[in-house]
Amino acid sequence: MELHLVLAFDVSASVNDVEFDLQRRGTAMALRSPDVMAAINQAPGGVAIAIVQWSSVIRQALGLDWVVLQTEADAAAFADLVEAMPRRIPGGGTMIHSGLEYAARLLEAGPGFARRYVIDLSGNGRADDLDKMLEMRDRLASRGVVINALAIEELNNDLTSYFHQYLVAGPGAFVVTADEFEDFHTAMQIKLLREISGPSFSGGPQWQEMGRLARD
């Protein structure tokens, strides 16, 4: 399979229900775009995607479990699931390291093996604990996981530069910017295209060690 991809949605207190809906609907719109559908159709062996929702240390939830996408019909069906996905966490802090840890555990349980392993974190704020985020980022990168980010700049705090400096990691890692939540669907489409079709490879991490890496 070409790719295992975990989409990590920010559901912290700074994200209201309208803004969560824009993330959800924006992702569904991106999956339905002809370019993304074509990229999925052309990916050798397809791609597997799951969604997590993150906020505080003890507030992490599975949004949608793993789905393997190989055709345009698969992508359209998954888009419907994304659009109907409820918000599972009412709010909380911005503990990005906990979101990464939860996503890492989900990667460990992915379907089979893939050529690339990617965590794609979207958010509108800086981490409440920078040191722990840096530690988790480095642990994941050392196992060959690529971390990309979607920065939602509604707070005008130059989150894009912050994510570039402190969050993204791995071969070809990148940040895509959405100026507002209303721009989320365009940013997500760009990001999915790069992640599904991108030439860089994260290698084959030793997934049997993933549970330990998140706790060490």
> For residue 38, how many other CB atoms are within 10 A of its CB?
15
CATH number of 14's domain: 3.40.50.410
Q: How many residues does the chain have?
A: 216
pLDDT for 199: 53
Higher pLDDT, 199 or 127: 127
Q: Three-state secondary structure along 6-40?
A: EEEEECCCCCCHHHHHHHHHHHHHHHHCHHHHHHH
pLDDT digits (tens, 9 = 90+) for 174-203: 999 988 778 889 999 999 999 998 754 344
pLDDT digits (tens, 9 = 90+) for 12-31: 998 888 888 888 999 999 99
Tell me which of 95-99, 101-105, 181-185 is least confident. 181-185
pLDDT for 22: 85
- Over range 53-58, report the average pLDDT: 92
Q: How many domains does the chain have?
A: 1
Percent of the chain whose predicted confidence (pLDDT) is above 90:
76
Q: Which of 123, 127, 126 is nearest to 95 (CA)?
A: 127
- Over range 105-111, report the average pLDDT: 94
Q: Provide the CA 85 distance to its chain's centre, in angstroms.
A: 15
pLDDT for 211: 36
Question: Measuring CA to CA, how many Å separate 144 from each of 31, 75, 109, 137?
Answer: 26, 26, 16, 11
Which residue segment(s) compose the domain that 80 sits in?
3-213
- Over range 47-74, report the average pLDDT: 96
Cβ neighbours of residue 72 under 8 Å, at least 6 residues apart?
37, 38, 40, 41
Tell me which of 49-58, 109-118, 122-131, 202-211 is least confident. 202-211
